[in-house]
Amino acid sequence: MAKQDRIDFRVDETIKTQFTQAAEAFGMSLSTFMIAAAQEQVARAQRRNQAVMLSDRDRDLFLSALDRTTARPVPETIHKAKARHGVLIARD
């Protein structure tokens, strides 16, 4: 992939020193380190955004399931189990 676009930004000397030291600690150039750090933040933001979107979708599906008028009736075996449970609890 050819590098054509450029991103420039200004920082104070302290921040540049911190970035440079961190890049050196990883054996990277400052540019490579900055790109890697930015890509990591992008991936984190995308995961967080996707989780929110999935949560919204799941919520909508759940509410839709609750609203359905075609819901199946509770099986008789569940009613019997509930009655047995009530009797067992009453004994204790």
pLDDT digits (tens, 9 = 90+) for 54-79: 788 888 888 888 887 666 788 899 88
Amino acid (1-letter code) at residue 24: E
Q: Within a domain: residue 87?
A: no
* CA-based max dimension of the chain: 79
Q: Within a domain: residue 47?
A: yes
Q: Which domain holds residue 19?
A: 13-69
Q: Within a domain: residue 83?
A: no
Q: Within a domain: residue 6?
A: no
Q: Is 36 helix (H, G, I), strand (E, B) or coil?
A: helix
Q: Within a domain: residue 74?
A: no
What pTM, to 2 d.p., does this model score? 0.54
Domains contained in the chain, number: 1
What's the pLDDT score for residue 52? 73
CA distances from 79 to 11, 49, 89, 92 (A): 68, 42, 15, 21
**38 contacts 19 by C-beta, under 8 angstroms:** no
CA distance 33 to 12: 17
